[in-house]
Structure 1
Amino acid sequence: MDLFKQQKVEDFYEIGEELGSGQFAIVKQCREKSTGLEFAAKFIKKRQSMASSRGVRREEIEREVDILQQIQHPNIVTLHDVYENRTDVVLILELVSGGELFDFLAQKESLSEEEATQFIKQILEGVNYLHARKIAHFDLKPENIMLLDKNVPLPRIKLIDFGLAHKIEAGVEFKNIFGTPEFVAPEIVNYEPLGLEADMWSIGVITYILLSGASPFLGETKQDTLRNISAINYEFDEEFFCHTSEPAKKFISQLLEKDKKKRLTIQDALNHPWIKHKEESKAQEPKKRERRQLKTKRLREYTIKSHSSMPPNNTYVNFERFAQVVEDIDQMESSFVSLAAAHDSLQEDIDAMVSIYNEKEAWYKEESEGVRHELSQIRYEFRKVEAFKRSLQDDMQVFSSSLGAVSSRYQERQNHFDALRTELSNELKWVQEVMGSFPRDGGGGGYPNCSFSTVFNNDVNEALKELLNRPCGGELLSGINLDFETGQQR
């Protein structure tokens, strides 16, 4: 609703002392900063979630505000402003500082029926205003009938607390179980369709208590009280009503009628003889007039008992703490939601990583099988190479041994060759000397048709062939090239 101002009420009003409290509401005195006017601030705790049973649902608060907006009557509290914050809706209401009607009357020594009817008539006028607009209060009881100012000859009645009020629409059936058991109508107890008639029943109970100081249906337990209401189990005990007029008792009995159709309407009540003829005849005897004075002792006892039987209402205070806890829990829940979102996101990443890991693992397993097979082949080849290597090493050792023997033999032959070369060189030198001693014209030395060199060459060649036929002779003499046919050495 646009009417709900989303601003801090403390910015516009100075909040004062507590005036009263209910289950989910607390009323404090306040002063408007801009005007200095006094008001009452009703703090109503909002229900924080659909699943919770603590606090008032927003639609119920809106309904109360909507009804209060439609009301402007001297006997009904008026709405001045509405503020809203995260936990509360604050109604700025007309300040009603005179206290409860019953507390005011209980302080008197006695009460005449004339005085009683003056207050009852104000209640009826306020209810008539409501019923003319098809609004049922549904919670009429002494605590909700206040005085605007008790320090005047005839205090003005103010009906308060419209938390249960409903607008009755034609053709729309409305059922509910609510209200204070002591004052609810039989149709509420029996869960039957409700209408404006329920308020008239409550007025009958209020009038009964006001005139007698006793409650007509109050039992030892709540269940006893509801059974008495459903059975219309009440009577005008002579002890309580010995000074009460017959029109007053008839007025009550016509309101405490189980059949809604037979119950007095608000117009019937206003036109009832007991209400219309408030003043007794001045010609009435003083003694008779004295008997019409109602003692308020029992009413005082009733108010004391009703107030003392109600334990201190700390629900709102506890709810303040609870609301703080709820707010902390909401913040924690918000953090948990963020954490859960992060967890979900992380879980998705983890799932993706696990999926990738599984794929990689499968691939690695496949590759590992291939690698294992290749490794097995490599190991097999390696073992073959190792065996071949050992075989080569053995062959190399054998070859090395053979090479040593060959080297030794080679060295021996080399030494023998060197000796032969030296010997041959000496022989050749001697031959050259011998040849040098022969005449150069050549002579056969007795050999016909041949020279000495020819014969010598033949002998040398034979000797060389024999030398070359020896082992290693070819190697040793391969580097020597002799040409004895020409008679020259190279």
Structure 2
Amino acid sequence: MAVFKQEKVEDFYEVGEELGSGQFAIVKQCREKSSGQEFAAKFIKKRQSNASRRGVLREEIEREVSILQQIRHPNIVTLHDVYENKTDVVLILELVSGGELFDFLAQKESLSEEEATQFIKQILEGVHYLHTRNIAHFDLKPENIMLLDKNVPLPRIKLIDFGLAHKIAEGAEFKNIFGTPEFVAPEIVNYEPLGLEADMWSIGVITYILLSGASPFLGETKQDTLGNISAMNYVFDDEFFGHTSELAKSFIRQLLQKDTKKRLTIQDALNHPWIKSNEHKEEPSKVPERKRERRQLKTKRLREYTVKSHSSMPPNNTYVNFERFAQVVEDIAAMEDTFSQLALAHDGLQEDIDALVSIYNEKELWYKEESESIRHELSQLRYEFRKVEAQRRSVQEDMRNVEGGISRVSERYKERHAHFEALQKELGAELQWVQEVVGSFQVTGSNGGFPNCSFSSVFNADVNEALKELLNRTCGGELLTGINLDQQR
């Protein structure tokens, strides 16, 4: 499995202007910061899900990278490094700055078969390197045949774009429908087992166009083109091949064979007399003037073909649009993540609200029960309070009555006390009188009264007893306080 570096490519390379773009890839010039060397950065949009049809599946990118990592040949673009981010896989490739082969040849004033074979042979050598390793390119076309540097006498061919390349396993049947309709082999059109022979068909179509400026199977529509391929509907029109050698037409005819077993292999193509016979021909400048003028027509037609083929292809903004789409998808995904988090938060909040509502309902029920109990207790307290209040008022009334009674008793007491004091004084006066009377009896006795008679003592005792009894019945004994009835004067 191919290993992709997860660092940001911009940390190691300065990415510059765009060099070209495809459906899901864009190529930009870049410069390595550490060495200053120039490269091409191919940004390939990854498919975000298997259900989507936008972008390239990761396994397809891994296959392309794996094949490029096995290749080292002068006529094939070289892979330098691979980076990956969230949306793209970035292939750092050898910078091929010479442009397309057909554009280069279309700008020439003349073209000979000898010059053509020099470029065809380089294509064959690159394909030979692939086929000896059982690798089929499956997308050989003028746009994928580039020049390393066009400012040299014989520019070097570079085969690029291995997005459709497959390693053909022996004994395994491989079928697919892909490629550019103008250059695909009949077995692709008919969905038959595919092999290395499909590349040889594409080389035959490329050679036909290179020598004539016309496309052998191109129709008005894509279906017309595929129908022409399946029906082998092509000819060598004298208008385009009137001055082309029979060896060249034989080379093309042996490549454009519907039966893959009859089609030239890569080794057969390299050994074909047309390729071999032109290996050491004289320089193009030494070709007779008459032939050069006739060759100029082919160059003119080739120029017309390249202009037409380029102008017929609308500007490919798929990658740019997809990049915008991917950004929108990423934004939507971020929004969905946010919404998911909000939904989770909402669910959590709803659970909290439900729990709070449940607690509130329980508390409300408890408060109602407590409120009923408190209302009952308050009612009981109000009843008790009114009862106590009534008792308090009754006690207050009783206290006022008691105070009134006490006042009356106090007045009566004062009256009694005053009466008592008056009686005490009167009694004291009476007692004094009695004592004086008794004293007078004692005097009489001593002067000649009754001898041996203790009248005073007897009388005093009886009187005292009588007075005490009388006073006790009348005043409870209180009047006798302080009065000594036995006092003898």
Asked if TM exceeds 0.5, the reply is yes
Judge conservation of contact 2:47–2:53 (CA < 8 Å) in 1: no
Whether the aligned pair in 2 keeps the contact of 1:39 and 1:92 (CA below 8 Å) is no
1:295 aligns with 2:307: no
Secondary structure class of the residue paired with 2:43:
strand
Match of 1:307 among 300, 306, 310: 310
Deviations 1:330-379 (A, max 9, x none): 8x579849x93x985896698479658746853x4675465345424423
* Inter-partner Cα distance in structure 2 for 1:406 and 1:279: 159
**Bigger Cα displacement from structure 2, 164-173 vs 53-62:** 53-62
> CA 1:376–1:265 in structure 2 vs 1: closer, same or farther (change >3 Å)?
same
Distance 1:143 1:298 in 2: 17
Matches for 1:234-253 after TM superposition, within 5 Å: 234-253=234-253
Shift, 1:460, TM fit: 6.5
Counterpart CA distance in 1 for 2:252 and 2:14 is 44
Mapped contact 1:32–1:39 kept (Cα < 8 A): no
Q: Cα–Cα, structure 1 residues 255 and 481, in superposed 2: closer, same or farther, change >3 Å?
A: farther
Asked if 2 retains the 8 angstrom alpha-carbon contact of 1:244 and 1:292, the reply is no
Contact 1:26/1:43, CA 8 A, preserved across alignment: yes
Contact 1:40 1:92 in 2 (8 A): yes
Match of 2:171 in 1: 171
Q: Is the 8 A contact 1:139 1:179 kept in 2?
A: yes
Matches within 5 A, 1:255-270: 255-270=255-270
Go from structure 1 to structure 2 and tell me whether the alpha carbon gap of 1:480 and 1:85 turns closer, same or farther (over 3 Å shift).
Answer: farther
Partner of 1:391: 390
- Normalised by the size of structure 1, how large is the TM-score? 0.77
Residue aligning to 1:451: 459
Q: CA deviation at 1:202?
A: 1.2
1:408–1:18: structure 2 CA closer, same or farther, 3 Å change rule?
closer
**Distance across 2 between alignment mates of 1:479 and 1:253:** 171
3-state DSSP of counterpart to 2:111 = strand
Contact 2:7 2:83 in 1 (8 A): yes
What is the match of residue 220 of structure 2?
220
Determine the structure 2 residue equivalent to 1:68. 68
Percent identical among aligned pairs is 58
Change (3 A) 1:250 1:417: same
CA distance in 2, matches of 1:412, 1:154: 156
The answer as to whether partners of 1:245 and 1:292 remain within 8 angstroms in 2 is no
| One-letter code aligned to 2:167 | K
- Other-structure match for 1:199: 199
Counterpart of 1:402 in structure 2: which amino acid?
N
Structure 1 position 105, deviation (Å):
1.9
Could you tell me whether the CA contact under 8 Å between 1:174 and 1:193 is conserved in 2?
yes
- Match in the other structure for 1:416: 415
Contact persistence 2:177–2:191 (CA under 8 A): yes
> Does the C-alpha gap of structure 1 residues 290 and 345 become closer, same or farther in structure 2, counting only changes over 3 Å?
closer
Q: Is the 8 A contact 2:29 2:95 kept in 1?
A: no
Deviations, residues 17-63 of structure 1 (Å, cap 9, x unaligned): 554444413142647864x7x64323323527336655544443443
Paired residue for 1:461?
469
SS of the counterpart of 2:146? strand
Shift of 1:135: 0.5
Q: Output the amino acid matched with 1:98.
A: G
**Equivalent in the alignment of 1:434:** 433
Q: Corresponding residue for 2:124?
A: 124
Q: Alpha carbons of 1:416 and 1:219: their partners in 2 closer, same or farther (altered >3 Å)?
A: same
In the alignment, structure 1 residue 41 sits paired with structure 2 residue 44: no
In terms of mean alpha carbon deviation, does 135-144 or 301-310 score higher? 301-310
Distance 1:32 1:436, change over 3 A: closer
For residues 242 and 127 of structure 2, what CA distance do their matches in structure 1 show? 29
Moved more, 125-134 or 315-324: 315-324
Q: Which amino acid aligns with 1:126?
A: G
Task: Assess, with a 3 A threshold, how the Cα gap between structure 1 residues 32 and 427 changes in structure 2: closer, same or farther.
Answer: closer
- Partners of 1:99 and 1:483 in 2: CA distance: 158
CA shift in 2, pair 1:356/1:99, >3 Å: closer
* Whole-angstrom distance in 2 between the partners of 1:28 and 1:346: 49
> In the alignment, what sits opposite 2:29?
28
- 2:305 corresponds to which letter in structure 1? Y
Compute the RMSD of aligned alpha carbons. 4.5
Q: Is the 8 A contact 1:96 1:148 kept in 2?
A: yes
Q: Which amino acid aligns with 1:185?
A: A
Q: How does 1:280-429 map to 2 (within 5 A)?
A: 293=295, 295-314=298-317, 336=338, 340=341, 351=351, 355=355, 358=358, 362=362, 364=363, 367-368=366-367, 371-372=370-371, 374-429=373-428
Alpha carbons of structure 1 residues 420 and 314: separation in structure 2 relative to 1, 3 Å = same
Q: Which amino acid aligns with 2:387?
A: F
Cα deviations across residues 226-261 of structure 1 (Å, max 9, x unaligned)? 344344444444433333444444433443333433
Looking at structure 1, the residues matched to 19 and 307 of structure 2 have their Cα atoms a distance apart, in angstroms, of: 18
Distance 1:478-1:102 versus aligned 2 partners, 3 A rule? farther
Q: List alignment gaps of at least 5 residues for structure 2.
A: 283-287, 446-453
Aligned twin of 1:77: 77
Letter in 1 for 2:459: S
Aligned match of 1:473:
none
